Structure formats: C-alpha cells, structure tokens
Chain A
C-alpha cells in the first residue's frame, strides 16, 4: 500500500482539516506564502494581472489567473491552498483500487407518486 504524503504542507493541511470540520481549501503552504511579494509571474500590460507563483503547476496557475475577484494577496494564498489540495488529489489519483470497488454513492430510480403500473 502506498504511504501518506507526509509533506509539511500536507501535515499542516490535515491539521486544519479536522479542526474545521470542513477543511475546504484550508491548506496553508508556508513556502509558497513566503513568495507573496516576490517570485510571481506578473504579465505586463495596462491592467495588473493576477499574481501567480513561479514554479506552480500549470493547472494551478490557470485557476489562480481566472479568479479576477481576488486580491493579489488572496491569489497567492489560493495558490498555496491549491498546492496542498493537489498533494491530496495526487495521492488519491495514484492509489490503485480493484475494478469491483464501486463509489459509495446511492441512486435508485424513483417511481411516480401514483404508483400506477401497467
């Protein structure tokens, strides 16, 4: 079995997760947050564009850039949160399961209220 990703980022994320009852993006990535004022890609142009941490995966850069309503500081924090979440997602994606392990979902067809059957 694969081991948990006990990175500093993931360890801190988990701690926040369970106090929160809902971790929802509570991840804090100290390394990335430290880059708040430096080390960001800030494309030139008439309008100041979203800050994106250098070295972040393209998927994260794309998501952060799309959040126009967030401040520069919030974007940098979001990037850190996404890095923490990505660690967890990679762990899930890499974990092998047998084909017969179905998702824990429930769905069943719902008959009409009249209950009439031909």
Chain B
C-alpha cells in the first residue's frame, strides 16, 4: 500500500484505528506518510530533535504482521506517535532538550515508552522541548537544543513550552498524538497555543521511570492529541502502577463515562481575572464554550478556588527541587552551556529558599489538597478559560508577553490534580484559545468525559492551522 495521503493524517487516533481494521490503510502506510510529512513540514516547525525512521518502519511492519495474524493490541496498534525528548529510548539519543546532553543514549526505554510499544504504537521521533523542561529558568523561546519551536497557526509565533515539539507536531498533523510532560503548564500551555487537546494526569498516574526529573513531587507525563477521546485512549495505554516508580499510584483508571453521564456531571465555573490588556475575544470564547456545555445538558455554577497561597507554594517547591535536580550542572560549570542566558542564575536564586520555606510550602500543599478534596466532593469538574492570552511571538522576551496569574494551573499542579485543555475558539489575532477542565485526583475520566461532551457539540478541535491545510 502506498504512503498515506495527507487526508488520512488528518484523522484522529480512533479514526486511524478504524481505517486500519477496515483495510483502508496500514500501519506502514501511516508511518511512511507521516515521515514524508515530517520531512516536508518539520523544517518550518522545529518540532523534532530526532526522527526514528528505522524504528518506526520496523514497529509499523510488526504491527501489520500481528494484526494480520489476529493479534490486536488495541486502539494504538499501528498508530504513529512521538515522545517528548525527556523520556528515555533505548539506543536513541535522549537530550532533555539541552546541548549538555545532546549525545546521550540510554540503554533502556522509559516505562511509558515500553507501555506505548506494548500497546502496538509506532514511535516516529523524539519531540523538541525547552532545555531541561524549563527547570533552570528561561525567558526566550529559543532556550532549546533545537532552537524555538514554531506554531503551525503562525510560524512567527511560539508553541509555548516545555512540550513545544509535541504541541507543534500534533497541531500540524505530523503525528496524531505525542507524550508531553507537565510540572506547571508544560502540557496545558502548548496545547492551548497550538489548538490541540492535552491532558495533565493525576500525579503518579503515569510512571516516570526513565523520565527526566525536574521536580520529584510535581512532574507528570501525559498525552497530547487532537481530541479528548484520543487523550483518553493514550492515557489508557500510558497509565498504570509501576513498581520501578515508587510515586506511581495503584488507583485504577476506572471505566469510561458515556456522554449522558458526562452531561450530568456537577460542573463549577472558575472565572479567570482579565488582565488589563487581555483580549476580550478569549473571554467571549469561554462564554460561548459554556453555552455549548449548557446546550449539552450541563448546568454549570460559579465556584471559587480555595484561598491559599498555592501559586507561591508551587513556585517555591519547583525552585528548590529544580535546583537540587540539576545541582551537578552548576557544580561542574556546565550550566554555561545552556541556551538561555538566565540559566546560571537559577541555582544561586534557590539559596534564598530556606528548609523551613520548603516545608511551609509543603504544609500549604496539604491544606490545599484537603480544600480541593472538599471542593471535588461537591463538584465533579471545574472549568475555566485556559490561558489569558494566545501564542507569544517567537522573538523577544517571553516575559514581555506573558501576564496575569494561573490559579488553575498553580493549584492543580500543586495538588497533583488532572487538567484537560481543549480548544474553544480563537483570539482576535486568529490564534487558538482554550478551556481547561480540572477534576479531582484520580478522576481523569470525568475531565475527559466532559471534554468529549464539549467536543461533541463544538468543532474547534477539528480546525486546521494554515500550515497543515
């Protein structure tokens, strides 16, 4: 069968899986088609660090043989995907997005890569990222081994970080899905900027064995795709307790909720404060999204977040843990090899944090967890405008563009809560806007069901960026 025409690469994971089983395409055709598309478009995007062509064709061929023999590993069998370059891949370099590690090769796959392989997925490449996932401070989009990733909606705009390549590749239809990671914002923000759907799972839901550690108590791996349905399929493949990761949880993922159940979820609305120069079109897009949910039967009500210094606590925890995680780079002087000129300041700055501050942040974390446990006994999910702005320019300081606070992201990451970003319209600049859906710990199914419900009554997730058209 000839390589997949680009139209097939527009399909979602679920649709591709159906086409494979209907005999309308094959894993090899999908892989070859995606590789050709990557070759054509990636030079404009910088979405990949490494293309794993040989592995992809070998895995696609194996999937084809297994499916022909009647062994079906599930919806990801034969489906192409990418992995953020902070998860280890045996025999393929894993750079963590940093020049310091540009030639490093691990001899074993990360658990999440192994699980995707066992689900029959086909690894097409390692996705570009901000160096060390932003763990040492950055203020430029080019703070990456591969330079700035560019947004398929406008290549003069950035994808956000740190899962930059995962966002660009999925939005441009180079891949239907990719692994991302989030410590604070690194799945949600690229998903929002790139107009795709991304899930930050509950802390511990996905094993981090073989993944770069930036913040031991806040790092999460999660799926980035074009729909909530695909994120759910990918989470089912990625999730599960791993004895090699002591922080991975035993809680079962539970069953998938249907759309009728989703329409009955108790949904709270959190109103994100509009910054002085905020684009009103984003707040209008969120209101329109709420109308869509109401039409689907949801009866959302206003809600407030717990009044605790949660963003401050999250920040202090990441400052302390990030400095500890990368201490050797400072001790060895290699910090000067980082692309962002501000990186050498991260460790010295961390010295302001006392042990008592870290413990206080961890106590506030406890208080916040208790408060959210109470919140999510009354609400199944809380929805909010995802970000108060659209994609920033590639050039210039990021701090000149980003404004406002992130109460949903700060509190959700502090407490290890799942958050789903779904496209919900466009800003006045024509760039994607997003809604974020947060649910209680271990309750990804609720956020995902609400996301599927929203996407059943809206079509923002089907919109294609100009580069992908």
Contacts and interface: CB of A to CB of B under 8 A. Distances in A.
A20 to B, nearest CB: 4
A101 B363 contact: yes
B43 to A, nearest CB: 25
Interface string A63-77: 110110110001001
Contacts of A63: 348, 351-352
Contacts of B308: 1, 95
B323 interface: yes
Nearest to A14: B405
A20 B185 contact: yes
Interface in A64-110: 64, 66-67, 69-70, 74, 77-78, 81-82, 85-86, 88-89, 91-93, 95, 97, 101-105
Contact of B403 (A11, A17, A20, A105): A11
A26 B309 contact: no
B360 A93 contact: yes
B41 interface: no
Contacts of B364: 92, 95, 97
Given A103-B366, A104-B363, A92 B313 contact: yes
Interface in B133-169: 133-139, 160-162
Given A19-B160, A24-B350, A77-B342, A2 B399 contact: no
A27 B399 CA distance: 9
B184 A23 contact: yes
A4 interface: yes
A82 B189 CA distance: 25
A12 B397 CA distance: 12
In the complex, which of the residues A16, A77, A78 has the most CB atoms of chain B within 10 Å of its own CB atom? A16
B369 interface: yes
Interface string A1-31: 1101110000111111111111111111000
Contact of B161 (A21, A23, A103): A21
B410 interface: yes
A24 B139 CA distance: 11
A24 B353 CA distance: 11
Interface residues of A, number: 50
A26 B139 contact: yes
Nearest to A70: B344
B359 interface: yes
B112 interface: no
Interface string B382-405: 000000000000000011001111
Nearest to B182: A21
A11 B405 contact: yes
B319 interface: yes
B263 interface: no
A61 to B, nearest CB: 12
A26 B362 contact: no
Contact of B352 (A18, A60, A77): A60
A12 B348 contact: no
A48 to B, nearest CB: 18
B311 to A, nearest CB: 6
Contact of A20 (B162, B217, B410): B162
A109 B362 CA distance: 20
A59 interface: yes
Contacts of A16: 139, 398-399, 402
Nearest to B348: A67
B134 A85 contact: no
B380 to A, nearest CB: 24
A49 B99 CA distance: 32
B345 A25 contact: yes
B51 interface: no
B197 interface: no
Interface string B401-439: 011111001100000000000000000000000000000
Interface of A: 1-2, 4-6, 11-28, 59-60, 63-64, 66-67, 69-70, 74, 77-78, 81-82, 85-86, 88-89, 91-93, 95, 97, 101-105
21 contacts: A2-B309, A4-B405, A12-B399, A14-B404, A15-B404, A19-B161, A19-B398, A20-B161, A20-B184, A21-B135, A22-B134, A23-B318, A26-B138, A74-B344, A86-B352, A88-B316, A91-B312, A92-B316, A92-B364, A95-B364, A103-B365
